[in-house]
Structure 1
Amino acid sequence: MNMPNQPKSEAQVVIYTRQGCHLCDDAAQLVEPLVSDITYIDIDADPALAQKFNTCVPVVEINGKIRFRGKVSPMLLKRLLQAEAGKTASPRPA
């Protein structure tokens, strides 16, 4: 999915997950090749998160905004990461 020599996104990504969740595994496989900063949080370790996200996992948060619940779209993920990179990129000198 990631092109050779293409740098990984510097976006901060959090994946809320739980044990035995095949969709969570799928989300991780899509995100890992594209992003260098990923945090995994098991919702069952925190009752508040378990209540908040119960049947919605995986939940993928990019730079503090929840972007996916349940299933991750590869095309939309790439577009969101490119958009986030554009927000932090410094303007090129003229």
Structure 2
Amino acid sequence: MSLPPISPGDARVVLYGREGCHLCDEARAVVARVCAELGERFVEVDVDEDDEAATAARIDPDEIPVTFVDGRQHDFWRVDAERLRSALTA
């Protein structure tokens, strides 16, 4: 499953989540830390606020948080820092 290509000025990592989700909070912290270490940007999409984006990405609301790297689904529920770092440096 993949999103449309990311333009050069856009973030390589997209985190789909929602407010009040403890797993989303944990994922956000991991993504923020790894992206900061590597000088990468990330954007966050609230699946409750942007239903159109979540639908286009085929996000299952029961699997959030979901991360995409370079337009491809990378993880759901939990984000592994080493795996994310490897994906961003490959």
User: How far is the alpha carbon of 1:12 from its aligned partner?
Assistant: 1.0
User: How far is the alpha carbon of 1:55 from its aligned partner?
Assistant: 0.9
Return the structure number with greater relative CO, CA threshold 8 A, min gap 6: 2
Query: Unaligned 5+ residue runs, structure 1?
Result: 1-10, 84-94
The normalised TM-score by structure 2 is 0.70
Percent identity between matched residues is 32
What RMSD, in angstroms, separates the aligned Cα atoms of the two structures?
2.2
Runs of 4+ in 1 over 2 A off after TM superposition: 46-53
User: CA separation in 1, counterparts of 2:79 and 2:51?
Assistant: 24
Structure with greater strand percent: 1
Larger radius of gyration: 1
Structure 2 residue aligned with 1:39, among 40, 43, 50?
Answer: 43
**Is the CA contact (8 Å cut-off) linking 2:17 and 2:24 kept in structure 1?**
yes
SS for the counterpart of 1:33 is: helix
User: CA separation in 2, counterparts of 1:74 and 1:58?
Assistant: 14
Query: When the two structures are aligned, how many residues end up with a matched partner?
Result: 74
The normalised TM-score by structure 1 is 0.67
User: How far is the alpha carbon of 1:75 from its aligned partner?
Assistant: 1.9
